[in-house]
């Protein structure tokens, strides 16, 4: 089977919730994309996408296997999201909640930002292992022609690990974190006079006991809550605390948008040309 080239790390059906529709049928609905101080109109088709981002090269396995898995998850999730937005969070069944939880966990783990964070974390483990082994057992054989200073310099460089390994790590994290998202209490934040933004890493975490600007809180921490904008008017909130559906002020929306911006990889998507952040 031919490889699928254009692969969305932010699903199109999700981005379409943030578009501005036009009266001209020849003009595709668009959303605003903000990056490096520049704002552009883009269609969901051309937003949150990279060539062969999930393509794998594992022997006889279909190169599209991960992309096809994510497409199935998205197809299952779309009607659930539509129901949540039209009828509220209490309208979904337990099975539908599981479907959305699966989407949420994969959404958190599938982005370029998480792939790079996994690359850094796994590289650090490997570097620490080599450094400790070198101190304990002497220079590894594969480095026998290098000086100690050269090896240390190599260990301090940025490593880019094999793509397939990072994709696998992302899938593992998505499955492993699924109970963390599901076990929290969910509610919907609504706004009538402002708009939520979203981003290239749209599931954001917040923990009142850490500096969220400096230390990204882990989803396994019990005091960590999550937020996920569902549309310009609605944001999903999850917490182990008791939470209720509520209408929030424009100031609170701006606070949430600011957190979404800070936890993004630098690309913001919005309904407005000049969103409040």
Model confidence pLDDT, tens digit, residues 57-103? 877 778 899 999 999 999 999 999 999 999 999 999 999 999 999 99
81 Cβ contact list (under 8 Å, min separation 6) = 13, 14, 17, 100, 230
Please tell me the predicted confidence (pLDDT) of residue 220.
Answer: 92
Confidence of residue 1 (pLDDT cuts 50, 70, 90): low
Contact 40, 32 (CB under 8 A): yes
Query: With pLDDT > 90 as the criterion, what percentage of the chain qualifies?
Result: 70
pTM score, whole prediction: 0.89
Please tell me the predicted confidence (pLDDT) of residue 159.
Answer: 76
Of 41-45, 53-57, 144-148, 203-207, which gets the smallest average pLDDT?
144-148
Please tell me the predicted confidence (pLDDT) of residue 25.
Answer: 79
Range 20-45 average pLDDT: 90
Of 24-28, 29-33, 149-153, 230-234, which gets the smallest average pLDDT?
149-153
Q: What are the C-alpha distances in Å from 193 to residues 2, 141, 219?
A: 47, 65, 30
Pairwise pLDDT comparison (277 vs 236), residue with the higher score: 236
Contact 42, 30 (CB under 8 A): yes
b (16+ CB within 10 A) / e for 61-80: eebbebbeebbebbeebbeb
Please tell me the predicted confidence (pLDDT) of residue 215.
Answer: 64
205 Cβ contact list (under 8 Å, min separation 6) = 212, 216, 217, 218, 219, 224, 225, 226, 263
Of 21-25, 53-57, 97-101, 212-216, which gets the smallest average pLDDT?
212-216
Of 1, 15, 112, 13, the residue nearest 71 (C-alpha): 13
Please tell me the predicted confidence (pLDDT) of residue 141.
Answer: 65
Kindly give the pairing relationship between strand 49-51 and strand 6-8: antiparallel
Tokens (6 digits) for 200: 């290239």
Helix, strand, or coil (residue 27): coil
Please tell me the predicted confidence (pLDDT) of residue 142.
Answer: 66
Residue 214 has pLDDT above 70, yes or no: no
> CA angle, 242 as apex, 107 and 176 as ends, to 5°?
30
The mean pLDDT of the chain is 90
Please tell me the predicted confidence (pLDDT) of residue 252.
Answer: 96
φ, ψ of residue 27 in degrees (nearest 5): -100, 120
pLDDT in tens, 114-172: 999 999 888 888 777 777 777 777 766 666 676 767 777 777 777 788 899 999 999 99
Please tell me the predicted confidence (pLDDT) of residue 93.
Answer: 96
Count of beta carbons in the 10 Å neighbourhood of residue 193:
9
Of 62, 171, 159, 63, the residue nearest 116 (C-alpha): 159
Q: In the beta sheet, which residues pair with residue 226?
A: 205, 238
Contact 206, 238 (CB under 8 A): no
Range 177-183 average pLDDT: 97
Query: Alpha-carbon dihedral of residues 167, 168, 170, 173, nearest 10 degrees?
Result: 180
Tokens (6 digits) for 39: 């704002």
Pairwise pLDDT comparison (131 vs 12), residue with the higher score: 12
Contact 193, 275 (CB under 8 A): no
> CA angle, 87 as apex, 277 and 230 as ends, to 5°?
25
Residue whose entry in the numeric block shows the structure tokens 């370029």: 112
């Amino acid at each position: 089977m031919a490889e699928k080239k254009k692969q969305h790390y932010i699903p199109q059906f999700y981005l379409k919730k943030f578009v501005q529709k036009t009266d001209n049928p020849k003009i595709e609905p668009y959303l605003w994309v903000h990056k490096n101080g520049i704002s552009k109109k883009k269609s969901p088709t051309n937003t949150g996408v990279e060539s062969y981002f999930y393509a794998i090269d594992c022997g006889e396995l279909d190169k599209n296997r991960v992309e096809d898995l994510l497409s199935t998850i998205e197809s299952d999730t779309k009607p659930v999201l539509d129901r949540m937005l039209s009828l509220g969070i209490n309208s979904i069944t337990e099975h539908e909640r599981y479907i959305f939880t699966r989407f949420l966990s994969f959404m958190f783990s599938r982005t370029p930002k998480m792939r790079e964070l996994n690359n850094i974390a796994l590289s650090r483990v490997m570097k620490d292992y080599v450094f400790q082994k070198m101190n304990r057992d002497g220079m590894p054989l594969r480095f026998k022609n290098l000086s100690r200073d050269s090896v240390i310099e190599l260990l301090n460089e940025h490593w880019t690990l094999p793509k397939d390994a990072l994709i696998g790590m992302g899938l593992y994290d998505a499955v492993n974190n699924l109970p963390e998202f599901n076990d929290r209490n969910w509610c919907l934040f609504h706004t009538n006079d402002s708009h939520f933004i979203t981003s290239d890493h749209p599931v954001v975490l917040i923990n009142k006991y850490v500096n969220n600007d400096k230390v990204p809180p882990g989803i396994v921490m019990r005091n960590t809550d999550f937020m996920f904008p569902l549309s310009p008017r609605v944001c999903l909130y999850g917490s182990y605390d008791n939470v209720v559906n509520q209408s929030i002020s424009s100031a609170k929306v701006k606070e949430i948008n600011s957190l979404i911006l800070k936890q993004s990889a630098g690309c913001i998507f919005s309904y407005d040309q000049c969103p409040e952040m």
